[in-house]
Chains A and B, each alone.
Chain A
Amino acid sequence: MSEVKKIKKGLDIKLIGKAEKVLEKADRSETYAIKPTDFPGLTPKLKVKVNAEVKAGSPLFFDKYCPEINFASPVSGKVIAVNRGERRKILEVVIQADTETQYETFKKADPNGLSREDVKEELLKSGLWCYLRQRPYDVIAKPLETPKAIFISAFDTAPLAADFDFLVEGESEAFQAGINALAKLTDGKVNLNINPNLNQSKVFSDAKNVAINKFTGIHPAGNVGVQIHHVDPINKGEVVWVIRPQEVVFIGRLFTKGIYDVSRKIALCGSEVKTPCYFETIQGASVRNILKGKLKDEQKIRVISGNVLTGTQIFEDGFIGSYDSQLTVIPEGNQFEFLGWALPGLNKFSMSKSFFSWLMPKKEYRLDANMHGEHRAYVVSGEYEKVLPMDILPVHLVKSIMIEDIDRMEQLGIYEVAPEDFALCEFVCTSKINVQDIIRQGIGLMIKEMS
């Protein structure tokens, strides 16, 4: 088999509240929502009005600049609200679910027997296309392009990440069908990147029609962008598509069952959850019923759809994001701390060894959302380099984005990065600079200038 690549640069952040591999039942959520804000750079155009009846798989809205890309309702029911923000930007399309899900029917077919155009059409029509994302730019893939390869990371190394083996348990048939469909979309390989220490599941190891690459090491070893960089780096003009294993299963279900079935397991984790475990739910579900009675209510909390590094803050009656398989609950931490910067800091986590907590390398932390200091200009150097396992000069790239120098951004590797790859840089930054926002801005600028 292929050699194992070990990712040495990075940082594992050990938090309290990892989900037990137990599937618990939560009350079925009554409302579901698809949030256009989950898809960076998207301008949505609505296809439905409030009070419209929809089925699972009925389009709710589409991409204004690429109208073939539909975004479908995860359940059947009635559209009860279109929530808008500033300048009438659409934030959420909310659906009140029926008790019994009605599905739109799509063509049942073995993807191996279909042409590339057929597979594309099915994915676009059903609304599953949005799960295919492209690098460069970390946005939804363009249907007219053909990627040089497709990459799937079969593990996640982010703090408290869900166990992907557990998420796809018993789905090997759908997973394989999904892989077969994806294989039609590229002239190159479908790469499945597994971690021999984390992935024991046969769903991954027995998968056919894929090239398997092996990675071990610390976060961000599980980031697909980092893996691409080490296997087949993206040069100017090249496109790679990425997708996550559960979403491959969605595609598989579309072809094997002929329906848009986006039910998935999610991990409920974090220090403020009484018993962290997994739940069976459907994409876009309201978290109200999932969280009910499950939280320690000691202090103000923050609910995050996704992980603590890249996730989105949602309210306690908010909705799970489209790409997320993890709900994290941490303390808000909006309080002052007397001389906090001077204390020994046994409960504080830092990559530097300037707090004495480094004496306890195995300790799990209960970290809150406090900034631990104010924003400053860049002073410390060499920090980002320690947590970015790519041949990229992070600070120089960030600075080239700040001054909006397109040529420089291109030279320094903007095509290879996604905001999530810089999440650890942002975490460790002494000057508290919002690196992920800056990377996203840079990507936005590139899209604007290059189109």
Chain B
Amino acid sequence: MKALRKFLDKKKPLFEKGGKYAKLQSTFEAFETFLFVPDITSKTGTHIKDAIDLKRTMSVVVLALFPALLFGMYNVGYQHFRSAGELAATGMFDLFLYGLIKVLPIIVVSYVVGLGIEFAFAQMRGHKVNEGFLVSGMLIPLIMPVEAPLWMVAVATAFAVVIGKEVFGGTGMNIWNPALVARAFFFFAYPSKMSGDAVWIADKADTFSGATPLAHAAALVGAKGEAATSIIEQHLSNTWDMFVGLIPGSIGETSTIAILIGALILIATGIGSWRIIVSVFAGGFVMGTLFNLLGSNSYMTLIPAWQHLVMGGFAFGAVFMATDPVSGTQTTRGKYIYGFLIGFLAVLIRVLNAGFPEAMMLAILLMNTFAPLIDHFVVQGNIKRRLKRVKVTA
């Protein structure tokens, strides 16, 4: 390691102001601080600092995403061979390998495009490269359909980084979750590649229905009597598969169990907000229960409230998207309200608007927009308490 350090120390002047490669200073520093935690010490204020930094925080989140990612790769293979009717003949490793080959290019495109833009912006502004995209770059592939064309992934990522983040000033300043901006852009710009029955399974055999549970559930709205029960029996009765994640869907969102492992990592390390995660699930459950009680169509009567929590991107959104500290609420109280409303709205939109069977993305983006308003009311509450104190004592 000393040799590497020496090498870096030798090259460093070239990248500093006036050096030959001064235009790449941010890039050099990004790599240098990636390899070595810098030698800077505290000059004012506390003399000791918590060992955590943004690199650690972000890498813990990426680690928490790994169960969902690995399972997603396996499921891509599983769905492909199932649609082809070759599931029994294919080994587990082959399933995974197939998925790996399909998914890896999407991850590479997401990181290369996103980081490329981040580095360029950092250099233009003379900033340091922020670690935020390490997570966004992993989130984007996980919420894409496996059949998403790579160039579309690239365009969506570029849109997310530039319009979703950099125009606001970079990591820490953005209003919406960048990964969801990418997905929303994709959804509205190329709807045929982001919805329907064909895109969720890699190289799907034509005869096989590739509809997601959410699409089946949405079909319940118009179905009555036997038609409805037959949809349930054929497509929505195997809740175990939904929980484990052996269903068609975006790459990383299908397995509730893998996502819960990630949630455990986030909550145990204290990096994800358990308040948000718990209240999103609570909000979804409450809205689902209300629909069950209301029961005005088959979707409302036949899908129990808890099933909403394992279908589609609900769990993934709750654990990895809603918890983004930058675009979410920042006050403790606000987190409960924000999370609850996300879950509540997601199920509401799902059931009432057939145009958006996957409502989690929209619910989170909407609440991202309202997060500052929620915080505003919490802050006002604090201010009022302080003012009231004066009146009591006076």
* CB of A39 to closest CB in B, whole Å: 17
Question: Taking CB as reference atom, which chain A residue is nearest B382?
Answer: A393
What per-residue 1/0 map shows which CB atoms of B56-69 lie under 8 Å from chain A? 11011000000000
In the bound complex, what is the Cα–Cα distance between A98 and B362 (angstroms)? 78
In the bound complex, what is the Cα–Cα distance between A121 and B273 (angstroms)? 55
> Do residues B42 and A351 form an inter-chain contact, with CB atoms below 8 A?
no
| A334 CB contacts on chain B under 8 angstroms | 39-41
> Do residues B128 and A345 form an inter-chain contact, with CB atoms below 8 A?
no
> Do residues B48 and A309 form an inter-chain contact, with CB atoms below 8 A?
yes
Q: Does A412 contact B (CB under 8 A)?
A: yes
Q: Which of B1, B37, B56, B390 contacts A235 (CB 8 A)?
A: B390
Question: Taking CB as reference atom, which chain B residue is nearest A429?
Answer: B50
Supposing A334-B41, A369-B41 touch, asked if A348 and B51 sit within 8 A by C-beta, the answer is yes
> Do residues A308 and B55 form an inter-chain contact, with CB atoms below 8 A?
no
Q: Which of B38, B50, B169, B171 contacts A379 (CB 8 A)?
A: B171
Q: Which of B339-394 contact A (CB under 8 A)?
A: 375, 378-379, 382-383, 385-387, 389-390, 393
Interface of A is mostly: loop
Question: Taking CB as reference atom, which chain B residue is nearest A373?
Answer: B53
Q: Does B237 contact A (CB under 8 A)?
A: no
> Do residues A428 and B50 form an inter-chain contact, with CB atoms below 8 A?
yes
Question: Taking CB as reference atom, which chain A residue is nearest B385?
Answer: A391
Interface pick from B96-104, B107-115, B310-318, B323-331: B323-331
> Do residues B45 and A341 form an inter-chain contact, with CB atoms below 8 A?
no
Q: Does A315 contact B (CB under 8 A)?
A: no
> Do residues B54 and A431 form an inter-chain contact, with CB atoms below 8 A?
yes
In the bound complex, what is the Cα–Cα distance between A13 and B46 (angstroms)? 12
In the bound complex, what is the Cα–Cα distance between A429 and B52 (angstroms)? 8
| B39 CB contacts on chain A under 8 angstroms | 334-336, 370
* CB of A152 to closest CB in B, whole Å: 22
What per-residue 1/0 map shows which CB atoms of A147-168 lie under 8 Å from chain B? 0000000000001000000000
Q: How large is the interface on B (under 10, 10 to 19, 20 to 34, 35 or more residues)?
A: 35 or more
> Do residues A302 and B47 form an inter-chain contact, with CB atoms below 8 A?
yes
Q: Which of A174-223 contact B (CB under 8 A)?
A: none
Of the candidates A354, A371, A392, the one having the most CB atoms from chain B within 10 angstroms of its own CB is: A354
Q: Does A353 contact B (CB under 8 A)?
A: yes
Q: Which of A337-355 contact B (CB under 8 A)?
A: 337-342, 345, 348-355
In the bound complex, what is the Cα–Cα distance between A348 and B35 (angstroms)? 18
> Do residues B393 and A235 form an inter-chain contact, with CB atoms below 8 A?
yes
| B387 CB contacts on chain A under 8 angstroms | 411
In the bound complex, what is the Cα–Cα distance between A236 and B130 (angstroms)? 40
> Do residues B393 and A349 form an inter-chain contact, with CB atoms below 8 A?
no
Q: Which of B11-55 contact A (CB under 8 A)?
A: 33, 35-42, 44-55
Q: How large is the interface on A (under 10, 10 to 19, 20 to 34, 35 or more residues)?
A: 35 or more
> Do residues B50 and A372 form an inter-chain contact, with CB atoms below 8 A?
yes
Q: Does B152 contact A (CB under 8 A)?
A: no
> Do residues A354 and B271 form an inter-chain contact, with CB atoms below 8 A?
yes
Question: Taking CB as reference atom, which chain A residue is nearest B54?
Answer: A376
Q: Which of A328, A339, A428, A431 contacts B36 (CB 8 A)?
A: A339
Supposing A379-B132, A379-B171, A411-B386 touch, asked if A372 and B51 sit within 8 A by C-beta, the answer is yes
> Do residues A308 and B46 form an inter-chain contact, with CB atoms below 8 A?
yes
Supposing A391-B382, A391-B385, A392-B382 touch, asked if A336 and B173 sit within 8 A by C-beta, the answer is no
Q: Does A75 contact B (CB under 8 A)?
A: no
> Do residues B57 and A345 form an inter-chain contact, with CB atoms below 8 A?
no
* CB of B134 to closest CB in A, whole Å: 11
* CB of A357 to closest CB in B, whole Å: 8
In the bound complex, what is the Cα–Cα distance between A411 and B170 (angstroms)? 29
Of the candidates A308, A332, A381, the one having the most CB atoms from chain B within 10 angstroms of its own CB is: A381
> Do residues B49 and A370 form an inter-chain contact, with CB atoms below 8 A?
yes
> Do residues A370 and B41 form an inter-chain contact, with CB atoms below 8 A?
yes
> Do residues B5 and A354 form an inter-chain contact, with CB atoms below 8 A?
no
| A412 CB contacts on chain B under 8 angstroms | 379, 382-383, 386
Interface pick from A63-71, A130-138, A273-281, A434-442: A434-442
What per-residue 1/0 map shows which CB atoms of A300-321 lie under 8 Å from chain B? 0010100011110100000000
* CB of A231 to closest CB in B, whole Å: 13
In the bound complex, what is the Cα–Cα distance between A328 and B331 (angstroms)? 35
In the bound complex, what is the Cα–Cα distance between A8 and B87 (angstroms)? 55
In the bound complex, what is the Cα–Cα distance between A382 and B375 (angstroms)? 13
| A371 CB contacts on chain B under 8 angstroms | 38, 40-42, 49
In the bound complex, what is the Cα–Cα distance between A379 and B330 (angstroms)? 10
Supposing A379-B171, A382-B335 touch, asked if A354 and B47 sit within 8 A by C-beta, the answer is no
Q: Does B90 contact A (CB under 8 A)?
A: no
Of the candidates B170, B269, B385, the one having the most CB atoms from chain A within 10 angstroms of its own CB is: B269
Q: Which of A352, A367, A393 contacts B270 (CB 8 A)?
A: A352
| A377 CB contacts on chain B under 8 angstroms | 130, 169-173
Q: Does A403 contact B (CB under 8 A)?
A: no
> Do residues B390 and A370 form an inter-chain contact, with CB atoms below 8 A?
no
In the bound complex, what is the Cα–Cα distance between A189 and B221 (angstroms)? 70
Question: Taking CB as reference atom, which chain B residue is nearest A307?
Answer: B47
In the bound complex, what is the Cα–Cα distance between A264 and B132 (angstroms)? 50
| B390 CB contacts on chain A under 8 angstroms | 235-236
> Do residues A437 and B37 form an inter-chain contact, with CB atoms below 8 A?
no
> Do residues A427 and B33 form an inter-chain contact, with CB atoms below 8 A?
no
> Do residues A367 and B269 form an inter-chain contact, with CB atoms below 8 A?
no
In the bound complex, what is the Cα–Cα distance between A309 and B172 (angstroms)? 26
> Do residues B40 and A349 form an inter-chain contact, with CB atoms below 8 A?
no
Which residues of B are interface residues toward A (Cβ below 8 A)? Answer: 1, 4-5, 33, 35-42, 44-57, 59-60, 128, 130-132, 169-173, 268-271, 273, 325-326, 328-332, 335, 375, 378-379, 382-383, 385-387, 389-390, 393
Which residues of A are interface residues toward B (Cβ below 8 A)? Answer: 13, 159, 233, 235-236, 302, 304, 308-311, 313, 328, 330, 332-342, 345, 348-355, 367-374, 376-382, 385, 391-393, 395-396, 411-413, 423, 426-432, 434-437
7 contacts between A and B (CB under 8 A): A235-B389, A354-B269, A371-B38, A371-B49, A377-B130, A392-B382, A393-B379
Beyond A302-B41, A309-B48, A338-B5, 4 additional contacts (C-beta under 8 Å) are A338-B4, A351-B270, A377-B130, A382-B325
The 4 closest A-B pairs by CB, nearest first: A373-B53, A377-B172, A340-B37, A348-B51
